[in-house]
């Protein structure tokens, strides 16, 4: 931790990827799959394993990708004693590759343009000597945020004497604001952005006299899952569930955000209770179909509490959340893995 903090203190706006912590665990395609599992268990912070075909770089398999397929029924028996090349045929291993002298800011900008399901995936770099390494996306984003914070502080001290620096400061603030509105683990909007969007849609509902619905979702027995499989596996599950939830939301005005811990919340403008219940059931089934093993049940599941109000002068955004929370409690009390409303 001390070394990481010292490294961040030297980061500047023109810092390159080579200055970040690099992971260089590699295996051959003809190695057995269980060696990937051993590598991840040996290094809990290892984001991915490099795969080579003799001396040629082939691809990178991330921690999430590996355990996602290995947690499927019969996958461990099917792949553990087979060569890695058998496994990679089942996975779409596409990860961006950058040179080590790429600017951190350029890498972040490019990474955020990936499809939603790939936002939390690590990236691969090629060093000057031709070797490959892996960078964790969270380490990349933290470094980027540190760079912008340091840049903002410097720009604020010089802004009086330069209109150019003022423009750069505003740009840095916009970038930092964008990062501040995303949840670093799951890549979806965080609680801050959710609160702002709920207030905005509440005001719009009052003006247009339209209904507003929300779905409050909670992963069942998540604490037990963490205790059984470890916090890293818990983080991977949160990211997978977030991606699954986002894939069920199709209307531009709808939003799904991380509410806190293992809870998520969907905001559905101009939606009646029947439509919200239908979507909640669709989400519940989609999470069940991920087939993530859980000690407390056959597979990991979620419970959903649904509420709907017509925004007005006599109620507030907190009221619709409280109703959804009560509905969620009702779903939990009735046995979990279900959708409920009041």
Rounded to whole angstroms, the Cα distance separating 36 from 41 reads 9
Q: Choosing from 175, 262, 296, 313, which is the catalytic residue?
A: 262
* Per-position DSSP letters for 30-72, written without gaps between them: TSBTHHHHHHHHH-TT--EEEEEETTEEEEEEEHHHHHHHHTS
Cα 237 from chain centre? 10
The bridge status of strand 123-126 relative to strand 97-99 is: parallel
Q: How far apart are CA 166 and CA 152, in angstroms?
A: 10
Half-sphere exposure of 79 (CA within 13 A, CB side): 25
Kind plus residue range of the DSSP H or E element containing 290: none
CA distance 142 to 306: 35
* Residue 175 is a catalytic residue: no
Query: Nearest to residue 215, comparing CAs of 333, 307, 317?
Result: 307
Q: Which residue has the tokens 């003799």?
A: 54
Rounded to whole angstroms, the Cα distance separating 34 from 258 reads: 33
Q: Is 123 helix (H, G, I), strand (E, B) or coil?
A: strand
Question: Which residues carry out catalysis?
Answer: 262
């Amino acid at each position: 931790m001390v070394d990481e903090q010292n490294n961040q203190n030297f980061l500047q706006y023109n810092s390159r990827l080579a200055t970040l912590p690099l992971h260089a665990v590699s295996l051959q395609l003809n190695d057995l799959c269980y060696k990937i599992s051993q590598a991840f268990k040996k290094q809990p912070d290892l984001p991915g394993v490099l795969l080579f075909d003799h001396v040629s770089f082939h691809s990178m398999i991330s921690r999430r990708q590996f355990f996602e397929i290995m947690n499927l029924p019969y996958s461990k028996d099917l792949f553990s004693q087979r060569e890695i090349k058998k496994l990679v045929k089942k996975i779409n291993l596409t990860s961006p590759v950058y040179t080590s002298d790429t600017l951190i800011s350029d890498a972040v900008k490019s990474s955020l343009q990936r499809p939603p399901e790939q936002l939390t995936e690590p990236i691969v770099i090629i060093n000057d000597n031709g070797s490959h390494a892996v960078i964790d996306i969270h380490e990349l984003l933290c470094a980027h945020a540190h760079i912008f914070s340091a840049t903002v502080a410097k720009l604020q001290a010089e802004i009086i004497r330069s209109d150019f620096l003022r423009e750069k400061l505003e740009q840095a603030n916009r970038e930092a604001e964008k990062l501040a509105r995303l949840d670093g683990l799951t890549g979806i909007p965080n609680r801050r952005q959710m609160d702002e969007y709920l207030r905005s849609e509440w005001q719009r509902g009052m003006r247009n006299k339209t209904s507003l619905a929300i779905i409050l979702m909670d992963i069942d027995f998540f604490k037990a899952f963490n205790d059984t499989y470890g916090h890293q596996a818990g983080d991977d599950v949160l990211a997978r569930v977030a991606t699954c939830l986002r894939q069920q939301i199709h209307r531009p005005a709808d939003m799904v955000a991380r509410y806190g811990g293992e809870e998520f919340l969907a905001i559905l403008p101009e939606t009646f209770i029947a439509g919200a219940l239908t979507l909640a059931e669709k989400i519940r089934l989609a999470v069940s179909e991920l087939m993530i093993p859980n000690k407390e049940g056959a597979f990991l599941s979620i419970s959903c509490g649904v509420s709907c109000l017509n925004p007005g002068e006599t109620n507030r955004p907190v009221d619709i959340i409280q109703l959804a929370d009560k509905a969620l409690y009702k779903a939990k009390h009735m046995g979990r893995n279900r959708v409920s409303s009041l």
